[in-house]
Amino acid sequence: MGRWFNTAEPCMPDRHYMVPASARLPQVPRLVSRGNYVVVHAPRQTGKTTTLAALAAELTASGDYAALLTSCEPGRAWGDDVGAATRAILDRTLADAHAALPPRLHPPRWPEASDGGLLGAALAAWSQVCPRPLVLFLDEIDALAGRTLISVLGQLRSGAGRRPAAFPASVALCGLRDLRDYRSGDRPADPRSGPGTASGGNPDRDRLGGPSPFNIVVRSLRLGDFSLDEVRGLYAQHTAETAQVFTAEAVDRVMELTAGQPWLVNALAAEIVDEMAVPPTEAITTVHVDAAKERLIRARATHLDSLADKLHEPRVRAIIEPVLAGTDPVTDPPADDVQYARDLGLLAQTSPAQIANPIYREVVARVLTDTVLEFSAPVPPARSFVLPDGRLDVPSLIDRFAAFWKANGDILTSRQVYHEAAPHLVLMAFLERVINGGGFVDREYGVGRGRIDLLVRWPYSGPDGRPALQREAFELKARAGGAADPLRTGLDQLDGYLDRLGLDHGTLVIFDRRPTAKPIAERTSITTVSSPTGRGITLLRA
């Protein structure tokens, strides 16, 4: 059986297509050769475990080291019971060593020691009998908290002076967050969630940075997303084995939708090849990629679902809500909360804050709008808005939304936890219900943009029977209390959006959020205005 695109477990070279580990963390062999202690961190589902396992195997295969990837996860359940947590970690280490290393590199029987010195004693004993320098990759280090975390880090630091003869020559601590961002009071509820909030106290005192129990770290390495060349190389492995080609446009589209997020890159390909079962004789195109994207989002695959679950955490909501609404935060959120959202993979690593990639943008919007319309008047189906020539009747759609908003707007916005972005979410939910698989709704939003841009793409058959695509642009703005009418700014911004899309018309929606605004039924109106460049613009004031 040939290899396949993997989304469910660490990759194995004989089973899965994968980007070479040496390309993802090229600094590690050099740091190991110098006997350095390092930190490796990255969001979930970016390939940390796969990469580190491959690096450990390569280092061992070189004949120069005994390198092992093991996990601190078994220590999670024991909390502050240092002895029990350490014994659980050592049990896992012993099992992993027997599975991954040749017998002559296996650890000895772990020595007896006090709870607070057990890990250091065990690693010292192993290093002394191992015929090669020992290299240890400790995954899921952020599964530990409190006294157990302090103890583990302290023992590693204390033993480092005896390396390589009597302690591991090199250690890498691997987790969701950079070690400097751990707090001694952190008690994460789940390893997929990352560390929770600190359990009170002074954040600067509780943070492990500064006078850290592990201040011997030489480098902190972040495992990044795939580059375009890496995506091409990954997909080329499939082509080499099956002769099925990903067109250049399809690869570019994957990169556009995922920003190189490894799980998404693999998941799109797996959806196309395995679930959609595109025949090997058929080239994979952007049409297949877009269809796979919709299927993944609608299926709410485990990774996407677990990521979306974080949206309900207050510290995450404080970051994501202004991003969704396109506004500046009312108060600057703590830098630690911003970094937490980045560590989860929700936010891009760059500023200003924005959702990490277009697929996550869709997931966030759909998760928050899934229940918005459940108990409201029914939304008309797409067929109610399809013209005889197959195009979407956008004026009729806007009329129906205005009527729907008058009847349901107050109730729906009051139910939405993301209150600042509530009107935008209601409109997006309405459009999503109408389009309902017949087309696509592309969203662009980000903190400080002052707007949300939506592009509805509606496929239909042209007069000659060939596939055609209708594109309709919407810009959503809100008028807050004390703010001036955003009409002129909105028209300027919409002109720029339409320039980029090459369209000669669009729709501007202005939600009036002022406490002094008239009731929804009285203030909701539809008119036609001209943009600064003379385009015809439908203006919906709501």
Q: Where are the domains of the chain?
A: 21-222, 228-299, 324-541
In angstroms, what CA-CA distances link 210 with 174, 183, 326? 19, 11, 36
The CB density around residue 87, as the number of other CB atoms within 10 Å, is 19
In angstroms, what CA-CA distances link 28 with 120, 215, 221, 291, 329? 23, 19, 9, 38, 39
pLDDT for 287: 94
Q: DSSP for 463-503?
A: TTSSEEEEEEEEEEEEE-TTPPP-HHHHHHHHHHHHHHHT-
pLDDT for 9: 81
The hierarchical CATH code for the domain 21-222 is 3.40.50.300
Phi, psi of 186 (to 5 degrees): -60, 135
Q: How far apart are the first and last CA of the chain?
A: 58
If you search the block for the tokens 């008028």, which residue do you land on?
A: 479
Burial of 469 (0-12, 13-18, 19+ CB in 10 A): exposed
Contacts of 334 (CB under 8 A, 6+ apart): 203, 315
- Half-sphere exposure (Cβ direction) of 483: Cα atoms closer than 13 Å: 19
Least reliable range by pLDDT among 420-434, 436-450, 514-528: 436-450
pLDDT classification of 322: cutoffs 50, 70, 90: confident
Fold adopted by 228-299: Helicase, Ruva Protein; domain 3 (1.10.8)
The Cα–Cα gap between 439 and 455 comes to 11
Instruction: Tell me the average pLDDT across 25-51.
Output: 90
In angstroms, what CA-CA distances link 455 with 101, 156, 441, 499? 54, 53, 6, 13
Instruction: Tell me the average pLDDT across 316-325.
Output: 85
pTM of the entire predicted model: 0.80
Long-range Cβ contacts of 189-196 (<8 Å, 24+ apart): 191/73, 191/76, 191/140, 191/142, 191/143, 192/44, 192/306, 193/310, 193/344, 194/44, 194/142, 194/340, 194/343, 194/344, 195/142, 195/145, 195/340
The Cα–Cα gap between 412 and 407 comes to 10
Is the confidence at residue 129, as pLDDT, over 70? yes
Phi, psi of 117 (to 5 degrees): -125, 5
pLDDT classification of 206: cutoffs 50, 70, 90: very low
Task: Decide if 379 contacts 77 (C-beta within 8 A).
Answer: no
**Bridge-based pairing state of the strands 170-175 and 452-461:** unpaired
In angstroms, what CA-CA distances link 470 with 285, 457, 459, 500? 19, 6, 6, 16
Instruction: Tell me the average pLDDT across 32-56.
Output: 90
Instruction: Tell me the average pLDDT across 332-346.
Output: 83
Is the confidence at residue 205, as pLDDT, over 70? no
Give, to the nearest 10 degrees, the angle between helix 358-369 and helix 302-309. Answer: 60
Is the confidence at residue 362, as pLDDT, over 80? yes
∠ CA 215-127-180, nearest 5°, is 15
In the predicted model, what is the mean pLDDT of the chain?
A: 87
Least reliable range by pLDDT among 63-67, 128-132, 383-387: 383-387
The Cα–Cα gap between 528 and 540 comes to 9
The Cα–Cα gap between 343 and 345 comes to 5
Q: DSSP for 347-370?
A: B-SSSS--BSSHHHHHHHHHHHHT
Is the confidence at residue 134, as pLDDT, over 70? yes
The Cα–Cα gap between 421 and 203 comes to 30
The Cα–Cα gap between 316 and 346 comes to 9
Amino acid residing at 267: A
Is the confidence at residue 436, as pLDDT, over 80? no
Bridge partners for 443 per DSSP? 454
